[in-house]
Structure formats: C-alpha cells, structure tokens
Amino acid sequence: DGGITQSPKYLFRKEGQNVTLSCEQNLNHDAMYWYRQDPGQGLRLIYYSQIVNDFQKGDIAEGYSVSREKKESFPLTVTSAQKNPTAFYLCASSIYREGQPQHFGDGTRLSIL
C-alpha cells in the first residue's frame, strides 16, 4: 500500500537538544510539506519542497531545518533555537499539479522533558 510514514509516533526531547523527525513517502509525489499543529489551532506550514534538493520556508520556519536529498524523504530537524517545540507535527505530500490534494502521515507528537 502506498502512503506516508512518519516516525517515531512519540518523541521526547531535553532542552537544548536537536531532534529529527522522519517522513518517508512511496507515492512518487513530487512535493512534500511539514506542518505544526497546536491544540485548538489549525495547521501551520513550516517548510515545503517541490523538488529534490530544493525547499522553501513556510510561515513558521524559525528554529527548524529540513533537507530533501531524495524524492521519498523529507526529514525535519527541530533545533534548540525553537523555543516552544511541543506540538503535533504532520508531514504531507502531493503531486505537484493544480488542484491536487495533499496526503498526510499519522504525525509525530514531540514533547519536552
């Protein structure tokens, strides 16, 4: 079955540590996205990538970094510069064509110890 796999499902971080969230897709989609979801709020875009070796900042990129070395993979690093990292992180992918929906993984919940 094709889909998007995010790992781990739960992640704990000590203050001052960087952590990397994994996102892999086997849908052969060109574009990939990272969103952050906080309680009672909608999703906010962190970074997105339309093609390998290229990515753009979203609305809340500060304190985060990404790479896109392979079409299938789009890992997100939450750096120690992100002052409030506790949230639910969602990865998505889509065919890069007008009107095409994004498909989401099951998310990673990050908490600070």
Provide, rounded to whole angstroms, the least separation between the CB of residue 15 and other proteins.
Answer: 25
Q: Mapping DSSP to helix (H, G, I), strand (E, B) and coil, where does residue 112 land?
A: strand
61, 52 contact by CB (below 8 A): no
50 binds other proteins (CB under 8 A): yes
Query: Per CB under 8 A, does 45 bind other proteins?
Result: yes
Using rule CB under 8 A, residue 64 touches other proteins = no
Q: Which residue, among 19, 11, 16, 7, has the nearest Cα to 65 in the 3D structure?
A: 19
Q: Catalog residues that contact other proteins under the rule CB under 8 A.
A: 4, 6, 31, 33, 40-43, 45, 48, 50, 58, 90, 92, 96, 98-99, 101-107
